[in-house]
Amino acid sequence: MKPYRTYIILFSVMVVWGLNVTATKILVTNFMPVTITGIRVLTAGLTVFLLLALIKKVRTLTKKEFWYVFLASIFNVLAHHYFLSIGLTETTATNGGLIMGMSPLLTTILAISFLGTPLTLLKTVGLLLGFSGVAFIVLEGSQVTGISFGDGYILLSVLTQAVSFILIKRVAHTLDPRLMTGYMMVIGSLFLIVIGLIEEPQGFAGVIENSTVSLWLIYFASACIATAMGHMLYNEAIGKIGASEASIFINLNPFFALVGAVLFLDEKILFQHILGFFLIITGVLLGSGAVEEIRNRRLRKKNAA
């Protein structure tokens, strides 16, 4: 029997992650971006530790694990969230959500470069399609003037996150991914808060002055539900159905980011967004190796039967 429960959980996580792009856009627009991102991610990290403590999964890191987690937190939390928070102040949630859908393809490129993952014809086609999709989005069809610094920052945020996935892979066999997530969030958020104090001296005062009930509801939903619980549930799903099948659900993330941008930010969906969306989805399915892996797995099961 197929694990439908896990599929439902993954689908729900993608809905939340897609809408979280809109939530993040609202937060960085109303508060100083680096400051609010730092305390939001810290809240998420503490939530992860609280949930893991309830199921007795918290432990200290070995020296080797600490250095991998430390480096991963620099890329996965500090750099990724820094560029994302700045980027969303200078581009739309629509563009941001679609560009973030490139994460699996960039991870594949790094895996080919540094982990010896083979480059197949299908992966090559997928990479070309995926990058073509991003080109349609950031160039607004064919106008070079359509490129914004915000789009560039979003691309940097996705690239730094992809680097972190390679580091995480190095230590994932000895450390629970959920616990690793908590450590990375706490370590990286402290760096973000320090940078916020330097770049945005009035950041914490602005958080107090601009606070409303609706903004705090968005804040806690983003930190506790989307960032903390979302990552824990996704990592658990990988352990149950495998990374390849789980990664297919990531294709829903840009779609729900589009929905959130239209419903809550009144952003317009243009033809290049639709075209870019389908190119990126097709590119991720082919370029990440998910289609090949699932096909090979089914062939192995068929031959074994």
Q: Do the beta carbons of residue 219 and residue 44 sit within 8 Å?
A: no
262 has pLDDT over 70: yes
More confident residue, 134 or 75: 75
143 has pLDDT over 50: no
Q: What does the pLDDT read at residue 142?
A: 38
Mean pLDDT of the chain: 82
H-helix segments, 31-92: 33-54, 63-73, 80-87
Q: What share of the chain in percent tops pLDDT 90?
A: 31
Q: How far is CA 28 from CA 25, 40, 263, in A?
A: 5, 11, 18
Task: Give pTM, 2 decimals.
Answer: 0.80
Structure tokens at 142: 């064919």
Average pLDDT over residues 85-89: 90
Range from 65-69, 75-79, 144-148 carrying the lowest mean pLDDT: 144-148
Q: What does the pLDDT read at residue 196?
A: 94
Q: 141: Cβ–Cβ under 8 A, 6 or more apart, which residues?
A: 271, 272
DSSP code at position 267: P
Q: What does the pLDDT read at residue 144?
A: 41
Average pLDDT over residues 287-294: 69
CA distance 187 to 179: 12
Range from 68-77, 89-98, 115-124, 234-243 carrying the lowest mean pLDDT: 234-243
DSSP code at position 226: I
Average pLDDT over residues 107-118: 73
1 has pLDDT over 60: no
Indicate the domain borders of the chain.
Answer: 4-304
Closest CA to 99 of 42, 158, 146: 158
Q: Do the beta carbons of residue 57 and residue 179 sit within 8 Å?
A: yes
2 has pLDDT over 60: no
